[in-house]
Structure 1
Amino acid sequence: MKPVYKLDTLDICGHAYIAKCLLALGGTPYTLTSKPFNPESYYSSPKSLSSSPTGDNLVQEIANTRDLNLALAKGLDLYPSDPKDENAANLLINDMLPCIHALHDYCATVSDVSMPPTSPDAHEKRLLLIDLLDKLLASHENIIMNSNSCFYIKNSPSLPDFYMLYIFVMVSHVSAYDPDLDRFSLLFVPHILRLVKLLYSTKAIQSVSL
């Protein structure tokens, strides 16, 4: 059984801005609300928010957002409206899902204090993750590397874009344990910038203070 990876861990690396966009995208067209929350009692180390000036507000959003499955369910209706994009979108999703599972698996392993990153199990999962990410980038380079490329329906982000942003944040998170994986998060940046611009232009993140 795959571990359920909570969204409430995504800010640990200080990627507050991207994590906030992820939550906004996962919540579109829903409104995200903050509730009273004490980050110091939640995180093992308060300094996990030190690199994020917006961390205090973000951590409230994250802490009160349910797990990934619910967030994904909110985006299931966000498929491309143009039929010619549908096949490409489905192919992209099919290739991204194994990456997400591998990310969950590897991150759960290296986060386990009883299973050091240098263990054979962690090494094997790392090799699988890198192989899947390499294949994803090779198969969909024209989409991922193009800052003008974005699937959307009525100027709203689509499910493939949600997955793309989620993989980016997850890879960035795993990079805290494995800095060599940073090269993958950097490759996703052009597409992420396009997506963030789209979120702004459609006011999809107007309910979330940046």
Structure 2
Amino acid sequence: MQQLEVTLRRKRLVENCPRNYQFILMTNAIIEKTLGKISSEEKRNQLILALQQTIPEYPNKDLSKRMLLWQEAKILNSIVTTYIDCQDYEKATEVWEMIRNSYQASKLYRFVDYEGYNLMQANYASCIGSSGDYFQSTKLCYENIRHCLKEGNIEFLERACYGITWNREQEIKQKYGKLKKETTYLEKLRQAEVIANMLNQTVLIEFLKKHRQMLDKITH
């Protein structure tokens, strides 16, 4: 990444296009956190610096009514993960709602890529489920399915289907003290497997296969 930055600076592609430097800062923060070189807080600070390359006012500016570019939405999603790492679900939800409002407030998003919105929705639903609100998380998952189908984008359908499965499993465990088979979530798990195979997502295919095998061992 350092060599890339040097090359971009030599060609004046940092000064003339802030998004180039933004990409470097974002990628570097993600890599360093993955390698364990920095903490979640340090990663967040680096990501905020990256976002400020195109939105200098952040975090002092409400972005709910600003049209976010895909890379900006991706950085905000990464910022949210740092709050989740610190179990600050309230702050994570606050940022996600800001991203969500930004997408929904602009009619221009009917004509551009919804990938940033879909990513945010998938992570948002997962976070809410992890915090224990399985009903609201499932509601969001179904909303995500409708949105993906409407836009003709199946990339995040698998996560929505698995989210419904996971939420229902947790509800059953809470009610009965153990996991029981139920047609509804088993169907969603099978749908998640089908979509993962369609997308050729090897890691997800194996993960979902093991999950189904675990459920197959349950006799009732």
With normalisation by structure 2, the TM-score equals: 0.31
More helix by share: 2
With normalisation by structure 1, the TM-score equals: 0.32
Which structure's relative contact order is higher, taking Cα pairs within 8 Å and 6+ residues apart? 1
